[in-house]
Structure 1
Amino acid sequence: HAVLAVAYMGLAVILMRQGKNEQALSYFNRSCDLSKSLKTDETPTTFQDIAHSLLLLSQGHYRRKEYDEAEVLLRHSMLIEARELWPDHPLVADSLSMLADLYRAQRQFREAEFLYTKALKIRQNTLGADHPIVATSLFSLADLYASQQRDEEALELLTLSLQIVENDPRKNEAQFAQSKTLLDELTQKARSR
């Protein structure tokens, strides 16, 4: 059953990417029904695969601004993660960050800040303070602060994010440019006061 649940979820993701939402939903539901019936002695990788697939499906809904659907999928993913993984697992941080993005898009800033902060702490604790994904978390939180005119807090986090990206040998140029642009905007804004 576990392999079949993962296969159905994989088909759902492929169909979702092809824009075949009705078919994707059918396979998604089959996968969820099977995953609910699985015993906890099934391999953790299977549950991780299902949770990750739910996360991917939620991203499709998020991009189409189908926030309610995205939230349902994210919360289901988080239920699986809470049951099957440890609380500080990186996949938990991914789900928290995605849910924060969703709340931010709906202007629920307090909830978004809480989730971004929690995801950042998990990533710092599990991956290390200098990991590129930590830089992404720092940027997300900084960008949220900047959108709320909390410029000093945003500048501090952006500076940390840029330091991580600059010191990474696999430097993510797009992330660097995005962080640098926001940093320049905030610096210019501070000078004009």
Structure 2
Amino acid sequence: MANLASTYRNQGRWDDAEKLFVQVIETRKTKLGADHPDTLTSMNNLSVTYKHQGRWDESEKLDVQVMETRKTKLGADHPSTLASMNNLAYTQKLLGREIEAIELMRECVQLCQQRFRPNHPNLPSSLSALA
């Protein structure tokens, strides 16, 4: 179901993708738990779908949930948490809250610099996003 939802999203079939992603999230919450990595990935996928639909407030709510849960479960400097921080910063920028977005990306870059070697691919992409 998650793969089909992603296919729908890639085809621009936002409503179909949304319906399936919601089903996947609910099923994964029930079977795996709300803080399971697969559940969080599905929440992120729904957030991306909302972004494509211009539903940035709804996207932001999911981005915050995913980031906070990953921080708690995996730590602030885990690659998945850092990706979530990046996603939230992007959403904040879409919402016109550039100062918040820049502050979050600065934190993300700082954590990346502490976590990764200078040639790690996550570091240049985070620096680029901040720029």
Same topology, TM > 0.5: yes
Per-residue deviation, 1:179: 2.5
Kindly tell me the number of residue pairs found equivalent between the two proteins: 130
Q: Does 1:167 align with 2:109?
A: no
**What does residue range 1-193 of structure 1 map to in structure 2 within 5 Å?**
54-169=1-116, 172-173=120-121, 175-184=122-131
Q: Choose 133-142 or 80-89, whichever is displaced more.
A: 80-89
Q: CA deviation at 1:79?
A: 2.0
- Contact 2:71/2:81 (<8 A) preserved: yes
After superposition, the CA RMSD in angstroms is 1.8
Q: 1:62 to 1:176 in 2, by over 3 A?
A: farther
TM-score by length of 1: 0.61
Deviation at 1:147, TM superposition (A): 2.1
Distance of 1:172 and 1:79 partners within structure 2: 35
Q: Does the CA contact (< 8 Å) of 1:116 and 1:137 recur in 2?
A: yes
Larger Rg over CA atoms: 1
How many Å apart are 1:120 and its aligned residue?
0.7
Pairwise CA distance, 1:101: 0.8
Indicate the structure whose relative CO is greater, using CA pairs within 8 Å and at least 6 residues apart. Answer: 2
Q: Judge which range, 154-163 or 133-142, deviates more.
A: 154-163
Q: Distance in 2 between matches of 1:159 and 1:182?
A: 10
Q: Alignment identity in percent? A: 27
User: 1:149: Cα distance to partner?
Assistant: 2.3
Structure 1: which 5+ runs fail to align? 1-53, 185-193
